[in-house]
Amino acid sequence: MADHYQVLGVSRDATPDEIKKAYRRLARELHPDVNPGAEASERFKQVTHAYDVLSDPKQRQQYDLGGGQGGFGGQGFGGFGDIFETFFGAGQASRGPRSRRERGQDALIRVEVGLDEVIFGTHRDIDVDTAVVCETCHGSCCQPGTSPVTCDICGGTGSIQRAVRSLLGNVMTSSPCGTCRGYGTIIATPCVTCQGQGRVRARRTVPVDVPAGVDTGVRLQMPGSGEAGPAGGPNGDLYLEIKVRNHEVFSRNGDDLLCTLEVAMTDAILGTTTTVAALDGDVDVELRPGLQSGEILTVNDRGVTRLRGAGRGDLKIGVQVVTPTKLSSKERVLIQQFASSKKPTAPQLSHFQQGLFARLRDRFLG
């Protein structure tokens, strides 16, 4: 069998770049598409095999030592997998030609929803720019009325058999066919719409049911709603990453909704009943007499529906008693009369208390 270095026309101390350049020059000259003769085809196989061996540092070292591919190396016997691959041609030949059909890629898009929408869930129709099956060839990759043709280099096997010298003699190995790239067939007349890919880029609408209770950062998986695969392969999956918009009034702590209610000083003193416009309808709230700033009023089961489990969280209302800053003369007289009726007490120092919002936060969050 011809020496690999002679086949490529390089010296034994040639650098990897010199080997690559020699192979590219010969491959362009001998490729069956350029030079269809039988002699050129055989030389093309020899050149390709020589490059496969000499371009791999491990195989080149074994070849220089006289072991050939998969023989005895500097570290002793190779693994059993290497031995079987060498003697029995394991690899592409045993698997048969590759399939052009491949699974499409997964896709990730971000969906923004309002806080009011996650209480009970919502439905969205989302426009997605993705890969879809070509309507002209229906994923066959070929121009209508045509079909793939068998590769005349590998005979449809998708692999090329080559003889490799070893200490035990010449053995046969196989590698993917360079002409059909291991598919075993060639698309002679590609579809002009998809350029032989079997899919095109397009915008399609995906209906999405956003479940109740989702929060920012939650990812929803929609199997089979991702990109279409090449050559009519199955679709990948679509992942939706949720972002919940901030609300001007309400905030969220787990499954609970939080808000602050400003209460007039007189209502805090005397008590009253008021209506709060919650996210899912009005709520009647009773304010007991003597209500203090920082107290938390809890309305059960008016929070967010639990994503996992039954029921809903609570609506927690933090009270802020508003002291009037501008009084009419009549109001001032009434306040003075009220103050004079009470036993006078001078302001006294007491333990330092945090600001209202800090106290509300601490009480909200437990």
Binding residue positions: 134, 137, 151, 154, 177, 180, 191, 194
Partner residues linked to 261 by β-bridges: 319
- Rounded distance between C-alpha atoms, residue 43 and residue 127, angstroms: 53
| Backbone region of residue 156 per phi and psi (left: phi > 0; alpha: psi in -120 to 50; beta: other values) | left
- Rounded distance between C-alpha atoms, residue 139 and residue 229, angstroms: 9
Cα separation values, 62 from 66, 71, 83, 129, 269, Å: 6, 7, 14, 50, 95
- Rounded distance between C-alpha atoms, residue 196 and residue 141, angstroms: 4
| Element counts in the chain: helices (H) and strands (E) | 9, 15
Q: Write out the H or E segment, with its range, that includes residue 93.
A: helix 92-95
Query: Residues at the annotated binding site for Zn(2+)?
Result: 134, 137, 151, 154, 177, 180, 191, 194
Residue 215: Cβ within 10 Å count: 15
